[in-house]
Amino acid sequence: MYRSILNFKDTQVAIKQVKDYFQKELAEALNLMRVTAPLMVVPESGLNDCLNGTERPVQFDLLETGADVQIVQSLAKWKRFALGKYGFAPGEGLYTDMNAIRRDEITDALHSIYVDQWDWELVIRKEERTLEMLKRTVCKIYSVIKATETQIRALYPVLADGMGGFCLPDEITFITSQELEDLYPEKTPKERELFYTREKGAVCLMQIGGKLRSGIPHDGRSPDYDDWNLNCDILLYYPVLDVAFEITSMGIRVDEISLAAQLAESGCNDRSALPFHKAILECKLPYTIGGGIGQSRLCMYFLGKMHIGEVHVSVWPAEQEARLRREGCYLL
């Protein structure tokens, strides 16, 4: 029978402590300033995120104008647009509190139709579009994750017991999706992630989206924000659920060459006429690296929770809530 380590009130206090500490350290590590970001965008801008390429955004019409607007699914494209609009220089970046609704999400312990994350984006020079730059940035983010683990366990020593004494390793391990497939050719992508992350503790899985030698991509990625050769997921082993816990998806963004190639490979050439995509193809937007770090996921991880619904309020299937209550897990 599961039992939450922290009670309701202590959990609410701890959520704020995790968020306040992490975002301050992240901003300092990557030289980011906080900005205000949209909850909705117009479809014809091309700024909404297509995620894996199939998810439907929430869309509605405005009474005043009759125009359609969409609730954002992430801010991957908007951030790059904003960096150009507001004149950020190489080495400067932004982050924002992103809130989204993903209507097609299949809910479980880690997935909710409500998404809250720190969306961040940093301007880089074209010559910095390399795996070395990606790895350096990942190491900076991982150092903030480790520092947050230390900070929260100092405030709540009992949390270490809830993780069975597990601590994140001092360094993160890098591997490509092709190397991972080569290690476990008979396993599914999720099984590969679990086996390798369980062994290493913290993993940066790189180059996600394109087809592997098996002819199947490790996972789906929209073709118009990450360069599939220069992106990654950060995975942490989570003993509470015995899973590879994805804490962030990030990457160096497409340039004019990789965007054209990925649109063609995905059969999405029609997007090249959208304003955002045209600006990239015409080299009118800055080169960037960016990603989204799940706020509730980070809190769930460090507070040893069984379900993400213990750290944020959302809508869940009634049978899921009933099953969780029988197991001692109570959602907000």
Catalytic, out of 249, 258, 262, 295: 249
Active site residue 116: no
Active site residue 49: yes
What is the token pair recorded at 207? 């180059």
Instruction: Put residue 267 in one of left, alpha, beta given phi > 0 → left and psi -120 to 50 → alpha.
Output: left
Beta strands in 161-276 (DSSP E): 173-176, 202-206, 226-238, 243-253
Work out the angle between the directed axes of helices 131-155 and 295-302 (0-180°, nearest 10).
50
What is the token pair recorded at 321? 């809530």
Instruction: Put residue 31 in one of left, alpha, beta given phi > 0 → left and psi -120 to 50 → alpha.
Output: left
C-alpha to C-alpha distances, 57 to 41, 110, 274, nearest whole angstrom: 11, 20, 17
Catalytic, out of 102, 192, 221, 297: 102
Active site residue 117: yes
Residue 255 contacts residue 225 (beta carbons within 8 Å): no
Active site residue 102: yes
Catalytic, out of 25, 49, 224, 226: 49
Active site residue 226: no
Active site residue 207: no
Catalytic, out of 193, 224, 226, 246: 246
Q: Give, for 123, the enclosing helix (H) or strand (E).
A: strand 114-124
Catalytic, out of 193, 233, 255, 310: 233
Quickly tell me which residue has 């220069």 as its tokens: 230
Catalytic, out of 74, 112, 117, 258: 117
Write out the catalytic residue numbers. 49, 102, 117, 233, 246, 249
